[in-house]
């Protein structure tokens, strides 16, 4: 299956983003969803494309919460104009207008050499900014545009710490942002920023749906370094899923059973013990061109979607 041209791609290159898996994931979702909860939404690639009456995008990272909220509430033209003003203020490249040659760069090597110094200045000013208003989050998004792989990463001191990347606010990036904002404004969408263990499911019914794409226990990425996701969290999530099922709420869980010689025994044993209730759908995907860290690229990862319907 191939990517549907009508599917929207997140303007954030979030670790583990599922955009390239949409051709396999989306057909597995049921029809007639009232509220769709994207519990670990990250860049929002899945939730933003689901046909539902109400969308809940939840992520523990408050930067995602406020960034999406800014995109939704601010006029789109104001958003774009603000980003362009920031680019001009710091003297960052605008290859859509001027082309790579104007900056003494080429498409192969990218624009990093030209943008390095203004990017460092932008990053420093952002990290020193105290006001958490719409301008702050558009400053953050501009940083993301010009950062390594268009990703988002903060250190323990809360400072944005990615280096400069190779690209800028090119036509493709502008299109992704525009489409994403249009979707946020056209659907009944709310944002939340809570740990899954504290997510309130009391208002959900059998007409609703919870999708979960948590950190993967047996892979190594920024979200599970320094014990950010461990066996306790894994077991807590599986208990949360069992609770969803006991309340008649439909769900789908993205995860990997095996990767690079490792096995997620907790998940494998849980799936086997619940084989009469849950169904394991195996997905065929090569991570060589995905948004994972290079060290996570593994053609033999056994990616699955576990559902209860």
Bigger pLDDT: 199 vs 219:
199
CATH code: domain of residue 70:
1.10.1020.10
Q: Say how many CA atoms lie within 13 Å of 142 toward its Cβ.
A: 31
With bands split at pLDDT 50, 70 and 90, how would you rate the model's confidence at 13? confident
How far is Cα 231 from Cα 215, in angstroms, rounded to an integer?
A: 11
89 and 163 belong to one structural domain? yes
CA count, 13 A, side-chain hemisphere, 76: 13
- State pLDDT tens for residues 148-166: 999 999 999 999 999 999 9
The band of 101, judged by pLDDT with boundaries at 50, 70 and 90, is very high
Clarify whether residues 151 and 228 are in a common domain.
no
91 with 239, same domain: the answer is no
Q: What is the mean pLDDT of residues 36-46?
A: 96
| Local confidence band at 293 (pLDDT 50, 70, 90 cut-offs) | very low
CB burial readout 222-256, b (16+ within 10 A) else e: ebbeeeebeeebbeebbebbeebeeeebbbbbbbb
Rounded average pLDDT over 22-38: 96
Domain contains 282: yes
Q: What is the pLDDT of residue 290?
A: 43
CATH number, domain with residue 273: 3.40.50.150
Same domain membership, residue 211 and residue 156? no
Residues 100 and 51 in one domain: no
Does residue 55 sit in the same domain as residue 112? no
The domain in which residue 248 lies consists of 19-60+194-307
Evaluate whether residue 206 is within a structural domain: yes
Residues 222 and 279 in one domain: yes
Question: In terms of domains, do 70 and 170 share one?
Answer: yes
Closest by CA to 282, choosing from 24, 79, 3, is 24
What mean pLDDT is reported for the chain? 91
Is pLDDT above 80 for 292?
no
Residue 151 within a domain = yes
Average pLDDT over residues 93-102: 96
Q: Which of 176, 209, 243 is the last residue of a domain?
A: 176
Task: Determine, yes or no, domain membership for 189.
Answer: no
Among candidate residues 281, 231, 290, the one with its CA nearest the CA of residue 251: 281
Q: Is the pLDDT of residue 19 over 70?
A: yes
Query: Is 25 domain-assigned?
Result: yes
Question: How many of the other CB atoms lie within 10 Å of CB of 184?
Answer: 21
Task: Note whether 158 and 201 are same-domain residues.
Answer: no
Where does a domain end: 146, 176, 206?
176
Which of 176, 211, 233 represents a domain boundary (last residue)? 176
pLDDT at 222: 52
Whether residues 284 and 211 fall in one domain: yes
Lowest-pLDDT range of 12-16, 20-24, 96-100, 166-170: 12-16
Domain count, the chain: 2
């Amino acid at each position: 299956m191939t990517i549907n041209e009508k599917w929207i791609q997140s303007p954030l290159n979030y670790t583990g983003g599922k955009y390239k898996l949409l051709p396999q994931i989306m057909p597995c979702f049921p029809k007639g969803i009232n509220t769709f909860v994207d519990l670990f939404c990250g860049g929002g690639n899945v939730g933003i494309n689901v046909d539902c009456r109400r969308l809940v995008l939840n992520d523990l990272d408050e930067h995602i919460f406020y960034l999406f909220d800014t995109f939704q509430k601010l006029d789109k033209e104001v958003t774009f104009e603000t980003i362009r003003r920031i680019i001009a203020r710091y003297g960052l490249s605008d290859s859509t207008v001027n082309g790579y040659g104007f900056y003494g760069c080429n498409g192969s090597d990218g624009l990093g050499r030209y943008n390095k110094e203004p990017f460092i200045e932008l990053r420093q000013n952002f990290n020193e900014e105290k006001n958490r208003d719409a301008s702050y989050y558009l400053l953050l998004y501009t940083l993301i545009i010009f950062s390594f792989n268009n990703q988002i990463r903060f250190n323990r001191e809360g400072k944005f710490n990615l280096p400069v990347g190779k690209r800028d606010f090119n036509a493709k990036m502008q299109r992704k942002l525009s489409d994403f904002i249009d979707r946020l404004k056209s659907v009944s969408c709310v944002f939340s920023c809570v740990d899954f263990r504290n997510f309130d499911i009391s208002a959900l019914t059998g007409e609703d749906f919870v999708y979960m794409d948590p950190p993967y226990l047996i892979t190594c990425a920024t979200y599970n370094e320094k014990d950010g996701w461990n066996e306790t969290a894994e077991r807590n999530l599986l208990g949360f899923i069992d609770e969803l099922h006991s309340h008649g709420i439909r769900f789908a869980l993205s995860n990997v059973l095996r990767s690079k010689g490792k096995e997620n025994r907790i998940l494998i044993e849980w799936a086997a013990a619940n084989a009469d209730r849950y169904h394991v759908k195996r997905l065929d995907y090569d991570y060589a061109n995905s948004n994972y860290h290079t060290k996570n690229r593994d053609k033999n990862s056994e990616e699955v979607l576990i559902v209860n319907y």
